Amino acid sequence: MKFWLGASFVPAGQFLELARAAERLGFDTLTLSDHFFYADFATPYPYSKSGRPRWNAETHWPDSWVTIGAMAAVTSTLRFSPNVYIAPARDLFTVAKQVSTAAVLSGERVTFGVGVGWCKEEFQATGQDFHTRGRRLDAMIPVLRELWSGAPVKLEGLPELSISPTPSGNIPIYVGGDSEAALTRASRLGDGWIGNRIYTEEQLDPVLAELPKDRPFEVIAPLAVIPDAAAYRRFAAKGVTGTMAAPWWLATPEEKKRYGEATLELKIATMERFAEEVIAKM
């Protein structure tokens, strides 16, 4: 079982120290979320009953690849992944160059966690079509793999081209989301899947049934369990290869939890306890 540190809502100034601590304590991957801006969105937020986002205008959403580059510079083994990057809100070459460069500069410690997104306003702001985002992501993923190989690629309307720098190995692509379309996309095009909510056993079992069993495939699922090595072993036996945790959430007052207001000291202290009581026993 791999342990990913979920660092959504974290103030930008805390990321470097969190990365150092995560590497020291045995976390496999540090994740951060992707948003362009905060607004009075007309698009309902799909993961709250009210339809309102769980953050406010002061919540930090640093650029994923700039932040990953900075964290990679102060670590040597920790991996990084967006959770998840809204690739179809960008053009193909912006995505290809950002991810490829981050992979090279980090020593190939990047996983490409990707999803279609939910916020129509962000697509409008970047000039990308919201309603075709799923089809465009399906078409984008194979081309990204070709571009990241460094080989010449022929695209409609363009001369044969290649990008550089590119990593020497493959960049793993994990697809986020638990809709039918997301699970199909992960199974057909991905090297793994990232869950987009906290799952009970009953919620996760039907999802696992839809994911590949006939090839190496990573399953990263945030789990609704009290942190305990035995519980994680039970999920590992079902095919879950990794889970995501933000250990400070249980120690943070509810009114501060969503906006990253837990102190850096509290975050690291709870990470240390989680590492001692769970990671070390796995």
Q: Which of 12, 17, 19, 200 is nearest to 109 (CA)?
A: 19
Structural domain of residue 182, as residue ranges?
2-281
Is residue 133 scored above 70 in pLDDT?
Answer: yes
d(CA 128, CA 158): 20
Q: Can you give the pLDDT at residue 12?
A: 96
Q: Can you give the pLDDT at residue 49?
A: 85
Residues 219/242, Cβ–Cβ less than 8 Å:
yes
Is residue 126 scored above 90 in pLDDT?
Answer: yes
The string of pLDDT tens digits covering residues 80-121 is 999 999 999 999 999 999 999 999 999 999 999 999 999 999
Is residue 206 scored above 60 in pLDDT?
Answer: yes
Q: Can you give the pLDDT at residue 48?
A: 83
Neighbours of 156 (CB within 10 A): 4
Q: Can you give the pLDDT at residue 46?
A: 86
CA–chain centroid gap for 177, Å, is 11
CATH number of domain containing 102:
3.20.20.30
Structurally, how many domains does the chain consist of? 1
Rounded to the nearest integer, the mean pLDDT of the chain is 94
Q: Which alpha helices (DSSP H) does the chain contain, by range?
A: 15-25, 64-73, 92-105, 120-126, 133-148, 180-189, 201-210, 229-238, 254-257, 264-277
Q: Which of 241, 137, 129 is nearest to 179 (CA)?
A: 137
d(CA 266, CA 176): 29
Phi, psi of 125 (to 5 degrees): -70, -30
Residue 115: which H helix or E strand, with range?
strand 112-115
Which one is predicted more confidently, 28 or 47? Answer: 28
pLDDT, mean of residues 9-33: 97
pTM: 0.94
Handedness of CA 261, 263, 268, 274 (dihedral sign): negative
Q: Can you give the pLDDT at residue 254?
A: 57
